[in-house]
Amino acid sequence: MITEKTKEQEMLVKVIRDFAKQEIAPVIDQYVHNGEFPTEIIQKLGELGVFGIQYPEEYGGMGEGMVCFSNVLEELARVDASVAAIVMANSSPLTILSKFGSEEQKNKWLAPIIAGKGIASIGLTEASGGSDASAMKTKAIKKENGWMINGNKLFITNSGNELNKFSVIAAATGTENGKKQTSSFIIPRETPGYVVGPKIHTIGWQAADSRELTFEDANIPDEYLVGEQGTGVKQLLTSITYGRISIAACAVGVAQGAYEEALEYAKIREAFGHQISKFQGISFKIADMATKIESARLLVHKAALLADKDEDFRKESSMAKLYATEMAMSVVQDSIQIHGGIGLSKEHRVSKMLGDAKLLEIVEGTSEIQRLTISKLVGC
């Protein structure tokens, strides 16, 4: 299942690796300290074409697929999970538009974001529902020549910064055969009744921007409905399944960064007259970290490759997300253990990674949801 990168893909990954080291690493802590969104960094990534890696060339994308995109996300998360999360979250609404949007929607909304002219957000999660899409309370009522939307969305990444152009949101649109009908809508940022709440401060992804969105009689035209009415669940599940690969790739990146920090520290820290890397208790821990990371990377690669071949990748996507995120949490904890007291300092990278890893375990479906999904797909 392993495929070699093309020369173009290798070049792109190297460009992003160098960019992360030179453009992100030296300044990202300033954004976190000042509570600012890393606008310049995201704009530069847009100019590099990162937003269009996996999307068709006819809309300005590179057409490289999920294997390449997951490699890029790993490189970004290796240096900072916030930036990787912003890029990942931006891909979710773009995936829906790419897979289900009309030609007009793709040209009007998808192509400009691919070209780096802003970012987008996706609105699914609600305070009362969490992973239960059937509990959605946001409603879209059909009006003459359009829709009126009312409701709230919570923890919506990319929704409150100056680069945001629109959100793709899920809303209930009545019932069909006794079941709640869900549809997806494009809601431009400037829509009257589109209210953006204050930034939600989380334990990880601290430079990212997550908010509550409130829709108060927000009226949009018919052409902002994505696909057919009532097909929202299929669209959202497709986006989530792709998103789980992206989250898993970010987890591999976070773990790789934590592992490299631990290995470097273990080689320079001395105790009892020896480098601590020479102690079996430390060297075995580092060996386990390296093995877990490589295992997770292979799971991500398999899921991404199946997605690129247009085969069923739901099981592999959930497996990659489950294993990689729990692995990242384990590796970061081990890295902190190796660092000892200095690893507990808020100023040290590995302490920040702990919050980043925990968020990765939760978003796009918790570990419990992944186990539920996998158990069904293997026939339980």
Residues taking part in catalysis: 364
Distances in whole angstroms, Cα of residue 312 to Cα of each of 55, 179, 316: 19, 26, 9
For residue 277, give both structure tokens: 């890397």
Q: What type of residue sits at position 376? A: K
For residue 157, give both structure tokens: 């990444």
Dist CA 6 CA 2 (whole Å) = 13
Dist CA 354 CA 254 (whole Å) = 9
Q: β-strands 164-176, 119-123: how paired?
A: parallel
For residue 97, give both structure tokens: 């538009």
What is the DSSP secondary-structure string of 102-143? -HHHIIIIIHHHHTTS-EEEEE---TTTTT-GGG---EEEEE
For residue 55, give both structure tokens: 């999307």
Q: What are phi and psi of 250, to 5 degrees?
A: -60, -40
Which among 320, 328, 313 is positioned nearest to 298, based on CA atoms? 320
| Strand locations in 65-209 (E) | 119-123, 139-143, 146-157, 164-176, 179-188, 194-199
Contact 90, 167 (CB under 8 A): no
Is the Cα torsion angle 23, 49, 85, 166 positive or negative in sign? positive
Which among 202, 183, 195 is positioned nearest to 136, based on CA atoms? 183
Give the N- to C-terminal CA distance of the chain in Å, as an integer: 26
For residue 317, give both structure tokens: 């996507």
